[in-house]
Structure 1
Amino acid sequence: MEDIGSAGRRARARECARAHRSYPDVYAATEPPVFADGHGLTVVEQPWWVDDEQRTFKLVVRTDEVPRYSTLEGQTSGEHVIMVTLPEGYDTSGNTRYPVQYHLHGHPDYPDSVTNKEMFEESTAGGVPLITVAPNGSGRGWYTNWVNPPDSLGPQNWETFHLDQVIPFIDANLHTIPSRDGRAISGHSMGGFGAMHYAETRPDLFAYVGSFSGGLDLLNQAQRVAVVATTQLPTSGMPTVPPDAIFGVPVWPLDTVWNEVSPAQHVESLRGMGVALYTGDGGNLLDNAPQAVIEKVVRDTNLVTRDHLVAAGIPHTFVDYGDGSEWAEGCTGKHAQAACLKADMKHFVGILMEELAHP
């Protein structure tokens, strides 16, 4: 059988879906927006709807900033999927402009995961006028420009890809409010780190930042071990990479970059920006011990971040939902738990719609 590659398989799947899709007479099928190349991104595959609801679509781009990357199952190195959820009633030919939330996925995960799609659509159901964008961050990208990327992959400039390319690319192709007061960033787990790091690095871009169980303190030795572990685990993507590839050597006195990019200690640039942190405590350690322990470490890094925000006098929202029993049905305080993340997102979107410019 001919191997047509992941792009070919996706194209055939979409053609089959369209061929077998039937719409009632009162419902007209519409096409997703067409995207033009620009800002360093080349469109490999134009957007396609993920289902008949026609709210969420995916597209594929390439960039010289991350020409190849360690892939998870089903990914093609160098091809970056971006998933976008539009507000209900979004009109590609209309003039209404919407705020945008960029959401960064965790490790090891995909931007187009089922949980992400459900988070985005459920939190904006009922006409919430918000566009949500989830770019690829790789299983171990860590939302930074790598210090020592291996030659086999080439540059791993994830930060440049997202901040200097994806954001203006989205503004150029969708009806966005292309300014700070119409833009927010959030993320969970590894993506929570990324959201805070991006917000601190480029406060001119975002009016609000949200971290859902993000590992925010790179001075925490358990957090450092977790990051280094992602470089070595095949489940984080293949090929694996050297331990010092991302942030450099993690041991003093060679750990300068680790210290410089740690969000917990560099909150001053968030002054004037909305900040929201969400964390559980892991709940019952006998129930899914690995995810319970990870969330416990994450909570410690969030407490340090909160303390720095308090010391700096920076207003913020800090939600510590403990074992999750009073936060959301099905949330037991574990790390990367869908029920907890959905509750985080619903709460965060509620805040955004009170603070961001919108129709």
Structure 2
Amino acid sequence: MKVLTRVALAGAVAAAAVTVPAAQATQAAAGPPVFADGFGLTVVTQPVWVEGSDRTFTVTVRSTAVPRYQPMQYQKADEHVVMVTLPDGYDGADAATRYPVQYTLHGHQDYPNTRANLQIAEQATEGVPLITVQPNGGGRGWYSNWVNPGSLGPQNWETFHLDQLIPFVDANLRTVAARDGRVISGHSMGGFGAFHYAEHRPELFGYVGSFSGGLDLLNQELRAAVVATTQLAASGSPTVPIDAIFGPPVWPFDGVWNAQSPAQHVGTLRGMGVAMYVGNGGNLADNPVQAVLEHRARATALVTADHLRAAGIPFEFADYGDGSTWAPGCTGKHAQLPCLQADMDHFVSLVMARLRHP
């Protein structure tokens, strides 16, 4: 795992520094599906298997919604890598067989195509008839259409993912292209994104899950974290003004922050499956940065839980403390692979009880 600075408060997923660039992937004997352009996306690199896998591939696209962004290491400013994990037996299944899709969103300073994200997806879906799609969200994209992108040009990440990527995937893979065939989840910044997307477009998703997500933009510590991501060169170069994403973060100019905060806008999740997973950070002396990150993420989950209860919306809440009863090797930290694997394993079991699938 990379060492995080104290100001990297939005968090990064475990092993984020270890990427699996598509150009370095090994092609397996049987090729992955071939993709066609469409819905504002242009295929730059056709699907190629990752690390010799015959289930997971990357495809690289350009998007009219986010034509250029601030790349991190291994990224190109005008290209987006998307990692897709297919179910076992996808190639051999009847052409009429359709599979549900999980969209899962990475955290701050992470990539979709890391070994950790590959492992989590493949292990959680082994033997499960579910497609998993992990799109690029940028180091600091925050899964939102930016208010003040300035000279960067459009940074419409929400449009990219919901209006372009989803129909693109449905057109190129054998999916259940309906609400009861689609779910969304995410870690840290991606947990915010998952709830944000589900609340904005509830007709698209049958289930939403947050893994240690930052869900309360009224929380001043989370606002500071988001602002910090705009100023970190490691989150993408060049850095951007602090008001680029949601506008000024202070009253009375913070209307967008308030309007986009998932915790206070849960009403549209009614009728959708909802799940949250979070630890309490565990032993503060053991990796204090990751402990604090998780402790504060938990505070935003508790606020969200209060709003869900007040709205009468059922939800699953795995509030697993120091992780000792959640998974071996999980100590309740923010970007800890054993915790995230257990989160995803449990979430997949929940959604498959609700989704339409073979």
**What amino acid is the match of 1:106?**
G
Residue pairs, 1:270-281, within 5 angstroms: 270-281=269-280
1:110 aligns with 2:111: yes
**SS of 1:323's equivalent?**
coil
Contact 2:180/2:355 (8 A) holds in 1: yes
Partner residue of 2:131? 131
Residue pairs, 1:281-292, within 5 angstroms: 281-292=280-291
Partner residue of 2:101? 100
CA offset at residue 52 of structure 1? 2.6
What is the count of residue pairs matched by the alignment?
A: 337
**SS of 1:187's equivalent?**
strand
CA offset at residue 104 of structure 1? 0.3
The structure number with the bigger radius of gyration is: 1
Residue pairs, 1:1-359, within 5 angstroms: 11=23, 13=24, 17=26, 29-91=29-91, 94-125=95-126, 127-151=127-151, 153-359=152-358
Aligned equivalents of 1:101, 1:136: Cα separation in 2: 15
Partner residue of 2:10? none
Consecutive unaligned residues in structure 2, runs of 5 or more = 1-20
Give CA-to-partner distance per residue, 1:291-340, whole Å, 9 cap, x none.
Answer: 11111110000000000000110000011000001101111101011110
Contact 2:37/2:43 (8 A) holds in 1: yes
Aligned equivalents of 1:230, 1:264: Cα separation in 2: 21
**SS of 2:335's equivalent?**
coil
Task: Calculate percent identity across the aligned residue pairs.
Answer: 68
CA offset at residue 114 of structure 1? 1.1
Aligned equivalents of 1:128, 1:290: Cα separation in 2: 35
**What amino acid is the match of 1:281?**
N
CA offset at residue 51 of structure 1? 2.7
Aligned equivalents of 2:77, 2:190: Cα separation in 1: 20
**SS of 1:348's equivalent?**
helix
Aligned equivalents of 2:64, 2:99: Cα separation in 1: 29
Cα RMSD after superposing both structures: 1.2
CA offset at residue 150 of structure 1? 2.5
**SS of 2:150's equivalent?**
coil
Aligned equivalents of 1:336, 1:218: Cα separation in 2: 20
Contact 2:50/2:57 (8 A) holds in 1: yes
Higher relative contact order (CA 8 A, sep 6+): 2
Report the TM-score when normalising by structure 2: 0.92
**SS of 1:214's equivalent?**
coil
Contact 2:191/2:210 (8 A) holds in 1: yes
Report the TM-score when normalising by structure 1: 0.92
Give CA-to-partner distance per residue, 1:205-261, whole Å, 9 cap, x none.
Answer: 000000000000000000000000000011111110000000000000000000000
**What amino acid is the match of 1:340?**
C
Aligned equivalents of 2:31, 2:109: Cα separation in 1: 31
Consecutive unaligned residues in structure 1, runs of 5 or more = 1-8, 22-28
